[in-house]
Amino acid sequence: MRKIRLPSGEEVPALGQGTWGWGEDASRRGGEVAALRLGLELGMTLVDTAEMYADGGAEEVVGEAISGRRDEVFLVGKVLPGNASREGTKEACERSLERLGTDRLDLYLLHWRGRHPLDETMEAFEELVDSGKIRHWGVSNFDVSDMEELASLPGGDAAQTDQILYNLTRRGVEYDLLPWCGERGVPAMAYSPIEQGRMLGDEALGEVAESHGVSPAQAALAWIFRREDIIAIPKAGTEDHVRENRAALDLELPEESLAALDEAFPAPNSKQPLEIL
Tally DSSP H helices, then E strands, for the chain.
10, 9
53: annotated active-site residue: yes
List strand residue ranges (DSSP E) for the chain, in order. 3-5, 11-13, 46-48, 74-79, 105-110, 134-140, 159-165, 188-191, 230-232
Cα(52)–Cα(42) distance, integer angstroms: 27
Cα(65)–Cα(224) distance, integer angstroms: 27
Q: Which residues contact 181 (CB under 8 A, 6 or more apart)?
A: 147, 162, 187, 188, 229
Out of 53, 108, 166, 191, which one is annotated catalytic? 53
Cα(89)–Cα(190) distance, integer angstroms: 23
Cβ count near 20 (within 10 Å): 19
**CA proximity to 78, closest of 34, 141, 17:** 141
Cβ count near 127 (within 10 Å): 16
String of DSSP letters for 151-167? HHSTTGGGEEEEEEE-B
DSSP three-state, residue 264? helix
Burial of 206 (0-12, 13-18, 19+ CB in 10 A): middle
Half-sphere exposure of 170 (CA within 13 A, CB side): 20
Catalytic residues: 53
